[in-house]
Chain A
Amino acid sequence: EPEVTQTPSHQVTQMGQEVILRCVPISNHLYFYWYRQILGQKVEFLVSFYNNEISEKSEIFDDQFSVERPDGSNFTLKIRSTKLEDSAMYFCASSATGSYYGYTFGSGTRLTVV
């Protein structure tokens, strides 16, 4: 079964540092997403991306966040200046059709900001 691959599985960073979380979506998928889950809380939508541009973003996705598909296979989430409250599991997802039905999530990157 095709998978969405996320690296690293765990990243520790100092407050104020920039981090880049990487994802390799399923190869024939066209729609890409980032979600996050703070420990013990709900899974929250951050951003959706299609045709090399953001199609929707949440209020969480402020100016410190950015996404990119640099080379046709990777999909990255950059956090420019991390805060303690950015500590969370970050999940990448992809979809062939943009339909909720076809979402495949990765196993996540646990980001710890110290």
Chain B
Amino acid sequence: LAKTTQPISMDSYEGQEVNITCSHNNIATNDYITWYQQFPSQGPRFIIQGYKTKVTNEVASLFIPADRKSSTLSLPRVSLSDTAVYYCLVVPEGFQKLVFGTGTRLLVSP
């Protein structure tokens, strides 16, 4: 499995855009990039997934450059409720288990 590296923590203010970058230099051809969010004392929640270029949903955008060695999760106009841990995962297609790292702890302040 490709190893992922992301910042341990980030701080932001309400209304700002937050970009969390994850590096995955050893990503394989059949790997997908998936991001999960976890609030304290809750289970992880799927945010977004992509293979290459840009993916956008109602919650976030995911930018993946052509070499796929990194990805950036973009959260537009964060609010206090976006304070959470964000996990970047690289998952082979069809792989059943998720391998979580330590994630990025995002703190949004007023």
Q: List A residues at the B interface (Cβ < 8 Å).
A: 4, 31, 33, 35, 42-45, 48, 55-56, 58, 89, 91, 93, 98-108, 110
Contact = CB atoms under 8 A, between A and B. Distances in A.
Contacts of B44: 43, 91, 103, 105
Contacts of A33: 96-97
Contacts, number: 60
Interface of B: 32, 34, 38, 41-46, 49, 87, 89, 91, 94-102
A100 to B, nearest CB: 5
A55 B95 CA distance: 11
A104 B44 CA distance: 8
Interface majority SS (helix, strand, loop, mixed), chain A: strand
A108 B42 contact: yes
A44 B100 contact: yes
A48 B100 contact: no
A108 B98 contact: no
Given A42-B102, A45-B98, A103-B98, 8 more contacts: A33-B96, A43-B98, A55-B96, A91-B44, A100-B49, A100-B91, A107-B41, A107-B42
